[in-house]
Structure 1
């Protein structure tokens, strides 16, 4: 939606409403409004949110009664003991009143709604009540006999005559929820008073418990809101004629109006022609006003995305994900006044008004124009770009953050830029919000005219120092959703913007600022850890850890620790062998140890590549050769790993007596075929194929020339390949020692295949250090190889303790030391 904008010559604050002329009686009656017919019913996001909240509440009740039975039982006893002290007459009257009123009050409200021609909502509420009634009968008749002594037994509490949910209350709660009593306080008070009395009589008569009543409440609310969202609620949005009637209260006399086309998630907008009055200075033309309408039901649109952004991203100032209609109206009004006061071109807000109880309007001056995304390339001149930057500079000077500087938020009229879409703006913004605005506008303009022109036109106005300060903020996560989607077609645009800024101020290079509280892969890691726990914990439950630890051979564990330590020397030799430039062995070993700390926050393969590349650059190797050297070592390591897996896979299937047939074992064939099928299916998906191609291209570009350089030095080649072989041998020795420490024993070739398979799974898993994937693969493989579940689980835990968890603390110390020495 594009708002109208004011001419730059317009000065002064909007006129006070008290000075506006009195509207003519019936001025809005018969005003023609050109707009499409609205839907009879709409699905409100708030109903889905409330449905999920009710389901969460029901789950919380079930969890509470399962872990705090004593507390719920004690609460029940206290309530029953308290009610027995009440006079019997009052309890009898309460029972009679609630028995009659719990049904009579909702029926009376339904009749009242029918007289007001609101039969559709009553019909939806009746549907919700029927669903609740049927569901409670099913639960009472089917669940109760099937769950003695369990969670539902705690809900039942009190004897065999009770029920986990109550047929007499649940339908009423569902009906009340779906029929909608918002704004009708007397009806609400009467209805919930009857429901409360019915609950109280259930407690005193011992056919209800506190937990059961709470579960009944949440179940009824969930059914009511779920029915509303599934069927749709009657459209509460006021039509255009009601908007025009509200506009007359601001002192305008509308003559005609038309609805402006806009996306479904944007507020409604109308172009309105009004009578010119001597008391107001309005633009000339066909339309004088652009009226934006905020509908109450749209205030929760996009709530989950806003909550996700608030939780995920750091912010200098707290913001609310859920805004009321009143707060949204006040926020946009305040931002419009502030931007106008900062002398930035923006629509002049002339007034605001409620439109009934379900909407509010904001009346702006109307100025025709086109948004930046609709202009042809030759229409976007350097003068226009400079004007956009001047308007932006005025926002920055006034400490105003727009927060949505997309192409649709920049309107061009007569070659001049105007800033619109101020709904999510922020006054008294902090430095972080202002720099994020600059990063967003730079990206928006670079998408249209390229990073060279975007930076070149901004530099004279904002200054090179200001532009340099935004370099760490040029991250995809800092941009709007639409901008991130546009960047998928130009993935290196942010890099090119940084390069253009660094050409102006080379000394401004700085690492990106961490804007995220956590990354999506953190959630993946948690899920993987949960999965690993699901696999390992049941096995541990059958293990006598005390007996197992006392019977463990700890000198084998010490041998495993020595083998784990040897892996860091091997990894250092592996890297040194593929770098023609000389590298100190001791410092390179420290880098590999530091990688053991870094891989706790990144997948293992990614962490090692990134840290080693950074180390080579700090050691004087140019960025291109540094990436190629690490890629060469990774490529040779991967090739060697695959060859070893195939070789020992065949060896494990060979027989040692009469035959020399080297046919692989059936398990190895099944595993390899399964992996091949999964990989083949995955590569048929275009996104997966592009990801794999880009990953391999980035990792191994320039590798061949680097390998040619290494091949010219036999010493380097021997060092690199020796490091690769020693690395695998050390890990195998650590795993074999872990198995032997708990009394297990497997052929060495089997241990090698188990390690190579699990290591491949861990490298491919998108979790830090292969968490979850490695544990599950190792435990399953060792069990299939012939170890008992207890021995396999214990060996895997010891192996991961030696190779993943023990090195974390020295790895952190190495990481800190290398950072102080500026080696990484």
Structure 2
């Protein structure tokens, strides 16, 4: 690189990877969303849009036919000349490399809209066009391929065009919609499609090729440093621009021999804005700093905080220059950090580190990103670097977050005892305990997560050591975000509940119309039996957990489990809740998972065994052929099963997953089953509890049928209930809603129960066994969450 007659070597690649071009990626995403909106609008709401356009056109279409023709002709000539104007502008500015992208954008846009079901349809632009104004220009104005070509060419060329011509060209292109309304005509939907498709094609090409913003203005950086008294001799790229700034090690002649130059481009500004907005949305206002209006303000803030901390003698570098450069770039230059990182030192430096942090806090400054590499020691003095997240006039919350971050960093380097004891000695026990509440994922910035190995484990270790050294029973985590994870999960569960309950709501009028014939004593009997199934489930889980948990708490957990299982597909939420409950009760994760897996395995075995037994009993007195699937269905199911087995045997990834994830758990469950055979009492409790669930549900359905007049025996109802339960576990809908009702009604009808009895009986059964427990399960789950039971 030659600057002002001097040759300055540049070592390393300045090119930013495509995955880090935030501005270009956002442009592609917005263009794709635009295509989706136009397509959806054309397919779904096009008639309403046509009516609206006609009414608007009648209001604004004040031109006479002759004036409309003149306006249309003038605009058509401008649209026809627009691609040539763009080409001339590029040639005059000598953007020779851009011509290939310009041509490719136009051709791809035209090709994209020329593909039809019968092949490629070529444009048919010809002179005699009697349909509209009898002009040649109207063909181009309404042709989506021409509009797409213009939009694609203009999107590709815009970054290299001057601001004023670029704005006028986009204004001219986008005026085709108002022009149509002024001349009292409807905007062609295909023209709107051409506009967004062309924008998408151009955005993709710009993302692949790049923009002028990617060209690093090193010449301007050299001149800025020269004005500050530093003559640049060479640049070395230490880190390309990406998620962070372009980092350059710079050899200079001046008061220093080497500087660190950080250069921020538009993509860094976009990422910073997105990150700030996301934190503002998700975190409480007391936890977030004010938003920076521009990249210039963000870099300037960092430099000013570096100066403030430097005045205290605790900055590892001092600022040389902050300046805005060409093409939207920003320069931040500072001296090479001095001192030795604490990761290379012994634990003897810890008292000085904590005292320096306390001094910085006393001067109302917080750091915000205390990762190990940003804390150094020079001649006994502790120095800090970074300052991107530092704040002047820091709140108490921000100071506590600093302490939590430094606890994690020092624990990872020097061990939990040294880090925590030194912090307590310098800061005091109360301060450390309060800050330990912020030993959470939300309080740890990205820098600490990357620089501290196994940071989650280190964080948990530091919290436990603080609890141990201070004698506290438990340290409650501080809520930094606006919504906790539990609150988000509960919101999702409520939305899922509304979704799964909607089909039931549509049948409520029919159900209530049948209530006049209901025998309420049978309904109360069914409700009591439904309640006993939760006692059976609690007893089975109690035995699977070796009796370590009190049965009454397990009954309460099973009630909350119903709400979670109903609002998640295949009941996976219920399994997770049971594991979490056992963990909170003191069981290890592996033991809790094994207990729940054992209960589910015994539930399946008991369910299938009872199904076989009752099928044999029913087969002696009832014809089951009408509920057995057709032979073709059975063969198809068997073929699918064999195919799945073959896939898991021959696909390496699936085979490894089975060997490393499924097989150990299966082996553990089989071992538990073998141990059950050696403990008859425990085995009887588990089998009895699992059997109570299946038979209790069957008895509840039978009571519901009897409540509306009856029509079949208990054995037939049991078979129908077990088949419905099987479908509930296989159905993709939460709680098996829809599939269970259909299976139960169809099963009862197959055994001769009239529809006027089967339909309300099944709905009553679902109210007793599903919706009433779900309504009770929500407040129960909230109560258990408040009591730290889940």
In the superposition, the TM-score normalised over structure 2's length comes to: 0.75
Aligned to 2:269: 299
Compute the displacement of 1:76 (Å): 0.9
The one of 44, 53, 64 aligned to 2:30:
53
Query: Quick one: distance in 1 between partners of 2:665 and 2:367?
Result: 36
SS of residue in 1 equivalent to 2:296: helix
Q: Distance in 2 between matches of 1:796 and 1:406?
A: 61
Indicate conservation of the 8 Å contact 2:544/2:599, yes or no: no
- Judge conservation of contact 2:316–2:339 (CA < 8 Å) in 1: no
1:218-257 equivalence runs, <5 A: 218-233=196-211, 236-257=214-235
Which deviates more, 811-820 or 168-177?
811-820
Which residue does 2:695 correspond to in 1?
729
Post-superposition CA distance 1:668-703 (Å, at most 9, x none): 977987887798889947678767699999x99x99
* Structure 2 counterpart of 1:641: 603
Q: CA deviation at 1:138?
A: 3.7
User: Unaligned 5+ residue runs, structure 2?
Assistant: 122-138, 622-627
Contact 2:80 2:140 in 1 (8 A): no
How far did 1:174 drift? 1.8
**Equivalent position of 1:359 in the other structure:** 329
Alpha-carbon shift at residue 371 of structure 1 (Å): 5.0
- Structure-1 residue corresponding to 2:422: 457
Q: In 2, Cα distance between the equivalents of 1:772 and 1:162?
A: 53
What is the deviation of 1:641? 1.3
Tell me how far apart the structure 2 counterparts of residues 793 and 333 of structure 1 sit (CA, whole Å): 73
- Alpha-carbon distance, 1:495 to partner: 3.0
Question: What displacement does 1:244 show?
Answer: 0.9
Correspondent of 1:129 among 89, 106, 122: 106
Map 1:366-515 onto structure 2 (within 5 A). Answer: 366-368=336-338, 375=343, 379-411=344-376, 417-481=382-446, 484=449, 492-507=457-472, 509-515=474-480
1:571–1:727 CA contact under 8 A, matched in 2: yes
C-alpha change, 1:808 and 1:143, in structure 2 (3 Å) is farther
163, 168, 174: which is aligned to 1:185? 163
The corresponding residue for 1:154 is none
- Work out whether 1:325 is the aligned partner of 2:295: yes
* Partners of 1:48 and 1:229 within 8 A in 2: yes
Whether the aligned pair in 1 keeps the contact of 2:562 and 2:777 (CA below 8 Å) is yes
Displacement after TM superposition at 1:239 (Å):
4.7
Cross-structure match for 1:564: 530
1:438–1:87: structure 2 CA closer, same or farther, 3 Å change rule? farther
Cα separation, partners in 2 of 1:61 and 1:509, compared to 1, 3 Å: same
Q: CA–CA distance in 2 between the matches of 1:674 and 1:263?
A: 49
Q: 1:320 to 1:723 in 2, by over 3 A?
A: farther
- Contact kept? 1:459, 1:467, Cα under 8 Å: yes
Q: Is 1:170 aligned to 2:148, yes or no?
A: yes
TM (norm. structure 1) is 0.73
Whole-angstrom CA distance in 2 between matches of 1:540 and 1:166: 47
Structure 1 residues 417 and 696 mapped into 2: Cα distance closer, same or farther (>3 Å)? farther
CA distance in 2, matches of 1:523, 1:635: 23
**Is structure 2 residue 49 aligned with structure 1 residue 72?**
yes
CA offset digits 1:538-593 (Å, max 9, x no partner): x999x987556645875576554333322333345446667898998767644544
What SS does the corresponding residue of 2:286 show, helix, strand or coil?
A: coil
Q: Return the offset for 1:350.
A: 2.8
3-state SS of paired residue (1:299): helix
Q: 1:340 aligns with which of 301, 307, 310?
A: 310
Partner of 2:247: 269
Which whole-Å CA distance do the structure 2 matches of 1:685 and 1:301 have between them?
Answer: 40
Is the Cα contact below 8 Å between 2:213 and 2:327 reproduced in 1? Answer: no
| Greater relative contact order, per chain length (Cα 8 Å cut-off, separation 6+) | 1
Q: 2: distance between equivalents of 1:30 and 1:639?
A: 78
Is 2:47 aligned against 1:82?
no
SS in structure 2 of the partner of residue 58 of structure 1: helix
State the secondary structure of the residue aligned to 2:323: strand
Matches within 5 A, 1:494-643: 494-507=459-472, 509-515=474-480, 517=483, 519=485, 547=510, 550=513, 554-555=518-519, 559-574=525-540, 589-590=555-556, 592-596=558-562, 603-611=573-581, 614=584, 623=586, 634=596, 637-643=599-605
- 8 A contact 2:247–2:263 mirrored in 1: yes
Q: Counterpart of 2:238?
A: 260
Number of aligned positions between the proteins: 743
Cα deviation 1:602-625 (Å, max 9, x = unaligned): 9212223434664xx5xxxxx35x
What are the Cα deviations for residues 153-201 of structure 1, in whole angstroms up to 9, with x where unaligned?
Answer: xxxxxxxx99997233222122111112578332033213322443333
Deviates more, 1:224-233 or 1:582-591: 582-591
Deviation at 1:203, TM superposition (A): 3.5
Deviation at 1:292, TM superposition (A): 1.2
Per-residue CA shift, 1:233-274, capped at 9, x if unaligned? Answer: 456322533321232344543344433346843312233344
Q: Distance in 1 between matches of 2:367 and 2:233?
A: 33
Distance verdict in 2 for CA 1:401–1:760, change over 3 Å: farther
Q: Is the 8 A contact 1:95 1:197 kept in 2?
A: no
Q: Quick one: distance in 1 between partners of 2:707 and 2:644?
A: 31
Residue 309 of structure 1, CA deviation: 6.3
Q: Give distance in 1, aligned partners of 2:427 and 2:17.
A: 50
Question: Conserved in 2, the CA contact under 8 Å of 1:391 and 1:417?
Answer: yes
Say whether residues 1:754 and 2:723 are aligned partners. yes
Matched residues in 2 for 1:110 and 1:369: separation?
Answer: 56
Task: Pick closer, same or farther for the CA change 1:466–1:597 going to 2, 3 Å.
Answer: farther
Q: Which moved more, 1:343-352 or 1:254-263?
A: 254-263
- SS of equivalent residue, structure 1 residue 806: helix
Match status 1:198 vs 2:176: yes
Higher helix share: 2
Which one of 1, 7, 10 corresponds to residue 34 of structure 1?
10
Whether the 8 Å CA contact 2:54–2:186 is kept in 1: the answer is: no
**Contact 1:315/1:432 (<8 A) preserved:** no
* Secondary structure at the counterpart of residue 474 of structure 1: coil
What residue number does 1:99 align with? 76
Give runs of aligned pairs for residues 668-679 of structure 1, distance below 5 A.
none
How far apart in 2 are the matches of 1:771 and 1:398?
58
- Counterpart CA distance in 2 for 1:459 and 1:364 is 35
User: Residue 290 of structure 1 is aligned with which of 242, 257, 260?
Assistant: 260
Q: Is the 2:559–2:780 contact (alpha carbons within 8 Å) kept by the matching residues of 1?
A: yes
Partner SS state of residue 470, structure 1: helix
Closer/same/farther in 2, CA of residues 436 and 547 from structure 1, 3 Å limit: same
Cα–Cα, structure 1 residues 100 and 501, in superposed 2: closer, same or farther, change >3 Å? Answer: same
User: How far apart, in 2, do the equivalents of 1:469 and 1:225 lie?
Assistant: 50
Contact 2:16 2:241 in 1 (8 A): no
Query: How far apart, CA to CA, are the structure 2 residues paired with 1:357 and 1:522?
Result: 42
Contact 1:268 1:292 in 2 (8 A): yes
C-alpha displacement at 1:362, in angstroms?
A: 1.0
Give the direction of change, closer, same or farther, for the CA distance of 1:314–1:97 in structure 2 (3 Å limit).
Answer: same
Any idea what the Cα deviations from partners look like across 1:698-745, whole Å, max 9, x if unmatched? x99x999x999x969x6x886666444323432444466678889997
Shift of 1:364: 1.1
